[in-house]
A and B are shown apart, each in its own frame.
Chain A
């Protein structure tokens, strides 16, 4: 069974640009969550999607948005990038068969210059 796949693995963007990250969950998992990981702030919750609906949202500005498609794949978008957005963005999927435990992808390392 394939794991959680995130693309791209690495990304370098310029301040002010926008970026879209992709996450394909484990087959059959309908919940996808996104986290931002930085050395200073740890793992911060961005949002969670279930069946194309955002169920939970963290305390991030509106520049951070996401969506989920009918096949459960999810994307997150960050507009007007700031230097402080440089981080590892992790997505995790969960499903009924796992007892709702999360499996993380390898992440997308975003560097804003």
Chain B
């Protein structure tokens, strides 16, 4: 079945450093790859997403890259801040009509001042 692997499970960085989280997926029919941020006790919130017709997408300090051939995608956060501390989930989904987001196991990011 579909599977999404996410690494690392925990990531500690100093404020101002960059953070990179990587995911691989198994279903070659997947074409939608969102990233969610979940702060402690709160709901997951979409922070950025990418579709398979795009290789990279940026939004201020965050960016996502996608390599469909290798079936992996990554989240890049630059100039990290303490408020970036949270659990980040990647996910993958097939085209509309068969929507079923398959999530990675999450990465706990800790940004130290």
Contacts and interface: CB of A to CB of B under 8 A. Distances in A.
Contacts, number: 53
A107 B40 CA distance: 13
Interface stretch (B10-18, B22-30, B64-72, B99-107): B99-107
B43 A106 contact: yes
Interface size bracket, A side: 20 to 34
Interface string A77-113: 0000000000000101010000111111111000000
A56 interface: yes
B96 A100 contact: yes
Could you tell me the dominant secondary structure of chain B's interface residues? Answer: loop
B42 A100 contact: no
A48 B96 CA distance: 12
A106 B106 CA distance: 18
A63 interface: no
Interface of B: 1, 32, 34, 36, 42-46, 49, 89, 91, 96-106
Interface of A: 31, 33, 35, 42-45, 48, 55-56, 58-59, 90, 92, 94, 99-107
